[in-house]
Amino acid sequence: MNWMSIIGLCLIVLGTVFSFFGTFSSNKKSQDDLTSKIQEKNIIIDEIRQSNIKLIDQNSSLLNSNNKVSTTNMDLIDHSNEMLNKISIYQQDLEERNIKIQELEKEILNVKKYSYYADYNIYGTNIMMGLGLSFSSDLSNRMKELLFEKDGKTYVKNLIENLPLIDEVIEKYPYFPFGYFTKFDFLKAHGNPEWKKYAQKAVEIFEVTTTIPGHNESHDEALRLLKHVLK
């Protein structure tokens, strides 16, 4: 083998060596770069994992807080419903009391209106006649024209011409119950269905006058008769 061959072989060997070391160096650098990037990615992944853990903790805390708020709201709703129920009961009780007060006021007003005539008889007087005594008033004089007695009982003169006189009594003495009683008797005798309206009005007054101490007994009799007729 000549020296040229030896030099060529050496060059080949050196090229192979340099190529090997170059490739090795390049691969090592690539490996180092890859390792570095993997580490960076691992760091980023770890940071993301830590952030996720924090977010999960925060979400858990928020959920717990929301649950507490929800529980508090439910308690408030229950308390509000309880208060609303109490207010409703109170309002209902107040309304019932107001209705009762109105009824009592109406009763008091009725007593005031009708008590004056509670001891009056159908003739419009509260004085017992006898022993030559006589009594007259505008009301009693009007009622005498509308009534007559037979066999110890008092009846209404159901003459057509008496209807205006009856209406005058009712108009002038609207709280005198026997004015309505007289018109009831008159209309019923003539078959006029309006008699029920006047019978009911008379009952309304008699139900008040019969509760007043010292009332005339004829009010009780008239009330019983009217209730029987209105059945």
Alpha helices for the chain (secondary structure H): 3-114, 138-146, 163-172, 177-189, 195-209, 217-229
Half-sphere exposure of 12 (CA within 13 A, CB side): 6
Per-residue pLDDT tens digits for 181-202: 999 999 999 999 999 999 999 9
Residues with Cβ within 8 Å of 179's Cβ and at least 6 positions away in sequence, in order, are: 166, 169, 170, 173
Q: What is the pLDDT of residues 54-97, one digit of tens each?
A: 877 777 777 777 677 677 778 778 777 888 888 788 788 778 88
Cα 1 from Cα 5, distance rounded (Å): 6
* Overall pTM surpassing 0.85 (yes/no): no
**Does CATH place domain 138-229 in 1.25.40?**
yes
Q: 3-class secondary structure for 170-217?
A: HHHCCCCHHHHHHHHHHHHHCCCCCHHHHHHHHHHHHHHHCCCCCCCH
* Every domain of the chain and the residues it spans: 35-117, 138-229
**Percent share of the chain, pLDDT over 70:** 78
